[in-house]
Amino acid sequence: MSNSDQFHQMLLAHSPGLWETLRRPSIEDPLRILISGCILGQKCGVDGSDYGMSGALTPLVSLPTVEALGFCPEDAGIGTPRTMPDIHGGDGFDVLRGTANVLDQYGADLTDGMIRGAEKMVAYALANTIELAVLTDASAACGSQVISDGCRYTEPRKYTAGVGVAAAMLLEAGIPVLSQRDYASLERLLVLCQAPKFVSIGKPDHHLTPWYTEYFAK
């Protein structure tokens, strides 16, 4: 079994039966989805910009059967603008266990701030009865399929199959997590939320893309 297969078994263990547990929402009782602020138009990227929406996420958040709430754990825990955080020595679960750290590109330790931001994100999610999170992949906070293995500015950039700190804490709180690159799942979510019309782009979820499967087959 490859490392990526083992990781996805672990991830499913934290989000059992996603499609069996997600209810069919209505206009009167919309599905409450938490989305990384930077892909929901909030200017909370490391440089104070937003990263924009794309793919199925754009029509999803406009549906009357969806209530989309944005939150940026890095902004909540570290601030904006900020230096670039990346996990060293594991993934978000390892950070929560105290066996990995979050460092910026200059070597400054941002671990406490990242954990603090993740705690705030989970508290916000629970207070707003969030049922699902769609997060920015490759982020040290929000990654759910892949994160950088150490500093992303080191050449060649290395990746690990794993989750960010906030994604790990959401999963531990029982809140399922998708990546904004999980195209097939997001399209399935459009159907669940009764999107009247949408054009399928025919892409798989991120962990089934050629890049992902080839990279982690090494």
pLDDT band at 70 (very low <50, low <70, confident <90, very high): very high
186 in helix, strand or coil?
Answer: helix
**pLDDT, tens digit, for every residue of 112-139?**
999 999 999 999 999 999 999 999 999 9
pTM passes above 0.85: yes
Segment 169-190 shows an average pLDDT of: 92
Rounded Cα distance between 218 and 205, Å, is: 20
Can you give the pLDDT at residue 16? Answer: 56
Q: Which residues contact 57 (CB under 8 A, 6 or more apart)?
A: 35, 39, 134, 180, 186
Segment 85-107 shows an average pLDDT of: 97
